[in-house]
Copies of this chain bind each other. A is one copy, B any other.
């Protein structure tokens, strides 16, 4: 039994349902951010991130900063690329556009390689693009929360190393870290940026990153100073290195309670990451099969494009999210409306991450599938369809 107050089950693509111990960590009593007890919790959290990202290279640099996932874009855009330099943005939905805007804010030139909604740029298209310009970074949204499209970051990274080895491979893993496999060293990634509130299973409020040695070296060889203050690696890297070495250090006050919650969830989920990825895949397959059984399709048509973190479900013709979401809520389940501007009224989003997936005793997924079936039927009936 959960110790939490009764509430509808939150199955949007983040924030997600929380484990009781994680939520209890949020209520940790007041502590000095430079006292030994907290320094240890922060330092260990950084080390646990290495485990989650499967990196053993000591030159990899984890970062935990107060902010939303969006802040990770600023960290990349203001530290790892300079004014006038080129970035290739692989676009699989809303978050490609936004990352491109962020890069341009700091003076980079962003070229977007767009795919039709629900699809992703092909490797041959990416190869062609990489050969046209000397890109300093390529960005890939691992799972685009607006479309549920999964990118093959391993294959893209291999391609980049082959045709444009100096291009930094930057993965937006906001909706993937903690449920989709990421082998940072083995796949030779340079940046994975994420947030606390999705498959990591912590409340929102933390921007989390892993940087490669290549990324750190790129930063060190900048010609111009970092273009942001709060997002400057000059300010943060020494702090993170000190905390991980259990030395107190100050640039800005860390969100102590959120870091406790992060520590709790990372301790839980790094026990067996391979199993965690496997169970997310299995449950995702079950959701997708149920969606197909209802005669519904996904925005991501091809199975290899379908994320395991969430499912973007196309509604039957004539039905819009406001026709279905209240029916789900009535049945104790919260899904999200569409987010991709061009087709927001045509689909809903079902997030399946974290305890809702890993703890079958909660029955969250079966309840959601049943509620979806009933709500769609009800909506069709109401519309005379």
Instruction: Please list the residues of chain A having a beta carbon within 8 angstroms of any beta carbon in chain B.
Output: 4-5, 7, 10, 12, 14-18, 23-24, 26-35, 66-71, 73-74, 77-78, 101-102, 105-106, 195, 197, 203-205, 225-232, 250-258, 334, 336, 339
Given contacts A258-B205, A334-B32, contact A226 B105 (CB under 8 A): yes
CA distance A21 to B77 in the complex (A): 40
Contact B26 A67 (CB under 8 A): no
- A255 adjacent to B33 (CB under 8 Å): no
Q: Are B258 and A255 in contact (CB under 8 A)?
A: yes
CB atoms of B18 and A204 under 8 A apart: no
Tell which of A17, A18, A205 has the most Cβ of chain B within 10 Å: A205
Residues of chain B contacted by A32 (CB below 8 angstroms): 10, 12, 15, 334, 336
A-B pairs with the 5 shortest C-beta distances?
A: A205-B255, A68-B252, A70-B252, A102-B229, A26-B26
Q: A248 → chain B, closest Cβ, in Å? A: 9
A25 to B334, CA, bound (A): 21
Q: A15-B32, A15-B256, A31-B10 are in contact. Are A230 and B26 (CB under 8 A)?
A: no
Cα of A205 to Cα of B68 in the assembled complex, Å: 10
Residues on the B chain within 8 Å of A74, using CB: 228-231
The secondary-structure label for the interface of chain A is loop
In the complex, chain B residues whose CB is within 8 Å of the CB of A227:
105, 227
| CB neighbours of A68 from chain B (8 A) | 66, 230, 252-255
User: Are A204 and B15 within 8 A (Cβ)?
Assistant: no
Contacts of A203 on B, CB cut-off 8 Å? 30, 255-258
Of chain B, the residue at the smallest CB distance from A106 is: B229
Contacts of A71 in B (CB 8 A): 66-67, 230, 252
Q: Which residues of B contact A195 (CB under 8 A)?
A: 253
Instruction: Find out whether the CB atom of B15 lies under 8 angstroms from the CB atom of A23.
Output: no
In the complex, A258 Cα to B256 Cα: how many Å?
11
Contact A253 B24 (CB under 8 A): no
State in angstroms the CA–CA spacing of A5 and B334 once bound together.
Answer: 34
Of the candidates B17, B205, B225, the one whose C-beta lies within 8 Å of that of A205 is B205
State A265–B27 Cα separation when bound (angstroms). Answer: 14
A341 → chain B closest CB, angstroms: 12
Closest to A205 in B: B255
- Whether A29 and B15, one on each chain, are in contact in the complex, defined by CB atoms closer than 8 angstroms, is no
Q: List 9 A-B residue pairs with CB atoms under 8 Å apart, sorted by A's residue number.
A: A14-B253, A15-B253, A26-B257, A33-B204, A67-B71, A73-B229, A105-B225, A105-B229, A205-B257
